[in-house]
A and B are shown apart, each in its own frame.
Chain A
Amino acid sequence: MSSSVIERAVPEKRVLTTKPRPSDVAFRATLNVMSYSSLLILAAIGGFLAFRGFGAFKENGFGFITHSDWSSIVDNSGKEVNTFGMAAMITGTLIISTIALVIGVPISVLTALFLTFYAPEKIKRALVTVVDLMASFPSILYGLWGFIVLSPMATYWAKLIYKYLHWIPFLNVPSPAFERSPFLAGIVLSIMIIPIVTSVSREIFGQTPLDRIQAAYALGATRWGMIRAVVLPFGASGVVGGAMLGLGRALGETVAVYSVLNIVFKINWHILYGYGGNIASMIVQKFGEASFTEKKALLAAGFVLFVMTLLVNMVANTVVQRAVKSGK
C-alpha cells in the first residue's frame, strides 16, 4: 500500500496591484500633506513650548505645578531671584471650568431636548441659528459684557448664595469681597460653552431610534417619560462627550476670563471670593512685561495648559465617537 497523500494543487496567491494615474498620485500626495500638516503644527507648538519652557521646569522641578509663588525679583546685589509655581493657576482653571460645566451643561441639555422634541419647526430653526452664532461670537465681547453687565448681577447672586449657603465650605468667603470671583468667570465661561454642548447633545438626541420612541409612547408614556426612558439613556455618553468638548474650550479660554477675573497667585477654594487663577489669562496678563526668564516660565505654563487641553479633547473625542458608533 502506498501511503500516498492526496495533493491538491493550490495555486499561488496573486499579488493584486493597480497602477494609479499620475493625477491620482498627485492628488493623494496633496491630501496627505494637507492632513498631516495640522498634526505637524500641533506637534511643533507642543515641542516649542516644552523646549522653551524646559528651563523653568528644570529650575522649579515639581514645584512648578505644586507651588503657588510666582515672583521674579531683582535683589540688592542686582541678581535676579525667580520662583515660579502655578498650582493656584491650575486649580483655578479647573475650578472655573467646573463651575462653567455645572451651570452650562444642564442648560445645554435642556435646550437640546427642547430643540429636538418640543420646539415648533420655526422656533427650532431660529434657535439653532442663534446658538450656532453664539459659538462664533468673539470672546472679548463675552468678556466685556461679563465685566460690565453680568458682574454686578453675579455679585448680587453671589451675596445671596453666600447668605443662605455659607455653611457649605466652598461657598463661604473670608471677607465680603464678591467682585471678580471664580464664580463670575465660571458663569461667563458657561455661556461660552453652551453652544458646543448644545449642538453635540442635539445631534445625539436627534439620532434616538424612532422605534424606541414609539415603543415608549405606545406604553402610555408622557413626552418627559419617554425622554427619561429612551432619549437620555441613549444620549448620555454623547452628552458627556459634548461636555468634555466644552471643558476643552473652557480650559483654554483666555480673554473673557481675563476681563472678569482677579488673578492672584494663591489657591482659592472659595468660589464666591474675589480672586482666582487661570492659566491662559495669567499668561496674557504677565507676558508683556515679563523678563527673559519669566517668559520661559510662561511658556512652560503654556505647555501645561497644552497638555491639559489635549488630554481633555482626546478623551472627549473618544467618548463622542463611541456614542455615535454604538448607536445605543
Chain B
Amino acid sequence: MSTDNSSQPNSLAGVAAARHREPGSAPLGSGLEARGVHAWFGSHHALEGVSLDFAAGTVTALIGPSGCGKSTFIRTLNRMHEFIPSAAMAGEVLLDGKDIYAPGTDVTKIRLQIGMVFQKPNPFPSMTIGENVLAGLKLAQIKSDRNKDELLEECLTRAGLWQEVKDRLGAHAGGLSGGQQQRLCIARSLAVNPKVLLMDEPCSALDPGSTLRIEDTISQLSKTMTIVIVTHNMQQAARVSDYTAFFLADGGPGQMVEVGPTNEMFSRPKDERTENYVSGRFG
C-alpha cells in the first residue's frame, strides 16, 4: 500500500495507485478487443465508434453518467445486445483475434467464453444452490470430466461463497441474501470456465458490506481471467480496476472519451470532461 497518496487531494487516485499493477503481470486469461463498435436501438444511435483493448488478465472499469452507453457497450461484448428486437451494431469484437460477430459463429459458444454477471442478482429460483452453480454445464450440454463436487466447491470458493453455503447446497437459491445471490451468480458463470467475465454494475443492488465482498472476489478472479466491469461507483472503479474507460453521451450517441491506467485516469486525466466527472463536478 502506498500511504503517501492518502495525503493527495484526489484520494481516488491514491486508491487506484495502490491497486494498479503493471499490465502483463497477469499471464492468464484471454484478450478481448473492441474495434469501432457502434450500437443502435431502432433508429436511435446509442454508441459511436468505441475501440478498446482489454488485455488478458486485467480488470477494466467502464465509468460514465447514466445513458452514456457503457451498459450497451458491455452487452455488445458477448452478443447480449442483440436480444433487444430492434438492436443493431457495427464494428468488430475480437476474442483471441477472432471476430465474435463473424458469420457462422455459434453465439452460445461465444457466451461460454465470455460470461456475464448482471446488475440484479438472477439465480434460477427453481434450482438449488448447487444446481445453480452447475446450471451452465447443463444448459450448454458440456460433458465435464471433472468431479461435480470438486467443481462446485472450486467455483463457490472462487466466488467467495463456499464457507457460507457449504452446508446447504441443496437449499433453494431464493433463500440467500442479495449479496450471496450475486456471488452465487458469479460462481455460476465461473463453472463454465470463461476466459472473460463481464460485470454490468454487479454491486448497484447491494449493501456496502456485500459490495466489498464482491470486490474482493473480483480481485481474486482477476488473477486468472479478464474482467470488464461497468460501475457507477468511482471508488469501486478505483479499487478494483487496472484500467478505466470514461464514456459520455454529449447530446449525441455515447462515446468513449478516454481510457488509461486507472490511477492516471483519476489523478491526471487528459480530457477535461473526464477531469470534471472524476472530480465530481457533474454526473
Residues of A211-250 contacting chain B, CB below 8 A: 211-212, 214-222, 225-226, 229-230, 233-234
Partner among B110, B122, B141 whose Cβ is within 8 Å of the Cβ of A212: B122
The answer to whether B124 touches A229, judged by C-beta atoms less than 8 angstroms apart, is yes
Q: Does B155 contact A (CB under 8 A)?
A: no
Residues of A within 8 A of B118 (CB): 211, 214-215, 218
The answer to whether A218 touches B108, judged by C-beta atoms less than 8 angstroms apart, is no
Residues of A119-154 contacting chain B, CB below 8 A: 121
Residues of A within 8 A of B141 (CB): 225
The answer to whether B80 touches A221, judged by C-beta atoms less than 8 angstroms apart, is no
- 0/1 per residue, A182-217, Cβ < 8 Å to B? 000000000000000000000000000101101111
Q: Does A328 contact B (CB under 8 A)?
A: yes
The answer to whether B124 touches A218, judged by C-beta atoms less than 8 angstroms apart, is no
Q: Does B282 contact A (CB under 8 A)?
A: no
| Given the contacts A214-B83, A215-B118, A215-B185, A220 and B124 also touching, CB distance less than 8 Å | no
The answer to whether B120 touches A211, judged by C-beta atoms less than 8 angstroms apart, is yes
The answer to whether B140 touches A219, judged by C-beta atoms less than 8 angstroms apart, is yes
The answer to whether A218 touches B120, judged by C-beta atoms less than 8 angstroms apart, is no
Q: How far is the CA of A212 from the CA of B120 in the complex (A)?
A: 10
| Given the contacts A214-B80, A215-B185, A220 and B122 also touching, CB distance less than 8 Å | no
By beta carbon, the residue of chain B nearest A211 is B122
Q: How far is the CA of A218 from the CA of B114 in the complex (A)?
A: 8
Partner among B85, B111, B125, B127 whose Cβ is within 8 Å of the Cβ of A220: B111
The answer to whether A221 touches B120, judged by C-beta atoms less than 8 angstroms apart, is no
- 0/1 per residue, B133-155, Cβ < 8 Å to A? 00110111100000000000000
The answer to whether B80 touches A220, judged by C-beta atoms less than 8 angstroms apart, is no
Residues of A within 8 A of B122 (CB): 209, 211-212, 214-215
Q: How far is the CA of A328 from the CA of B139 in the complex (A)?
A: 20
By beta carbon, the residue of chain B nearest A326 is B125
Q: Does B109 contact A (CB under 8 A)?
A: yes
Q: How far is the CA of A321 from the CA of B131 in the complex (A)?
A: 28
The answer to whether B80 touches A234, judged by C-beta atoms less than 8 angstroms apart, is no
Q: How far is the CA of A242 from the CA of B174 in the complex (A)?
A: 26
Q: How far is the CA of A8 from the CA of B141 in the complex (A)?
A: 69
Q: Does B239 contact A (CB under 8 A)?
A: no
Q: How far is the CA of A216 from the CA of B111 in the complex (A)?
A: 10
By beta carbon, the residue of chain B nearest A234 is B126
| Given the contacts A220-B140, A225-B140, A215 and B124 also touching, CB distance less than 8 Å | yes
Partner among B115, B127, B140 whose Cβ is within 8 Å of the Cβ of A221: B140
How many of chain B's residues touch chain A, expressed as a range?
20 to 34
Which of A209, A225, A328 gathers the greatest number of chain B CB atoms within 10 Å? A225
- 0/1 per residue, B55-95, Cβ < 8 Å to A? 00000000000000000000000101001010000000000
Residues of B within 8 A of A121 (CB): 85
**Does more than half of chain A's interface fall in helix, strand or loop, or is it mixed?**
helix
By beta carbon, the residue of chain A nearest B79 is A217
The answer to whether B139 touches A216, judged by C-beta atoms less than 8 angstroms apart, is yes
The answer to whether A230 touches B124, judged by C-beta atoms less than 8 angstroms apart, is yes
The answer to whether B80 touches A219, judged by C-beta atoms less than 8 angstroms apart, is no
Q: How far is the CA of A229 from the CA of B173 in the complex (A)?
A: 14
Residues of B within 8 A of A214 (CB): 80, 83, 118, 122
Residues of B within 8 A of A222 (CB): 108, 139-140
Q: How far is the CA of A146 from the CA of B127 in the complex (A)?
A: 44
Residues of A within 8 A of B110 (CB): 220
Q: How far is the CA of A230 from the CA of B127 in the complex (A)?
A: 10
Question: In the complex, what's the smallest C-beta–C-beta distance from B114 to chain A, in angstroms?
Answer: 9
By beta carbon, the residue of chain B nearest A230 is B124
The answer to whether A328 touches B80, judged by C-beta atoms less than 8 angstroms apart, is no
Q: Does B16 contact A (CB under 8 A)?
A: no
Residues of A within 8 A of B127 (CB): 229
Which of B80, B110, B115, B136 gathers the greatest number of chain A CB atoms within 10 Å? B136
Q: How far is the CA of A93 from the CA of B104 in the complex (A)?
A: 53
Question: In the complex, what's the smallest C-beta–C-beta distance from A216 to chain B, in angstroms?
Answer: 6
The answer to whether A219 touches B125, judged by C-beta atoms less than 8 angstroms apart, is no
Q: How far is the CA of A275 from the CA of B111 in the complex (A)?
A: 56
Residues of A within 8 A of B112 (CB): 219-220
Q: Does B156 contact A (CB under 8 A)?
A: no
Residues of B within 8 A of A233 (CB): 124, 126
**A-B residue pairs in contact (CB < 8 Å), sample of 25:** A211-B122, A212-B122, A212-B125, A214-B80, A215-B123, A216-B124, A216-B135, A217-B80, A219-B111, A219-B115, A219-B135, A219-B139, A219-B188, A219-B192, A220-B112, A220-B140, A221-B108, A222-B139, A225-B138, A225-B139, A225-B140, A229-B124, A229-B139, A230-B124, A233-B124
Q: 5 tightest CB-CB pairs across the interface, nearest first? A: A220-B112, A221-B139, A233-B126, A219-B136, A218-B116
In addition to A214-B83, A222-B139, A225-B139, 12 A-B residue pairs with Cβ atoms within 8 Å of each other are A121-B85, A212-B122, A214-B80, A215-B118, A217-B83, A219-B112, A219-B140, A220-B108, A220-B109, A220-B192, A225-B141, A229-B127
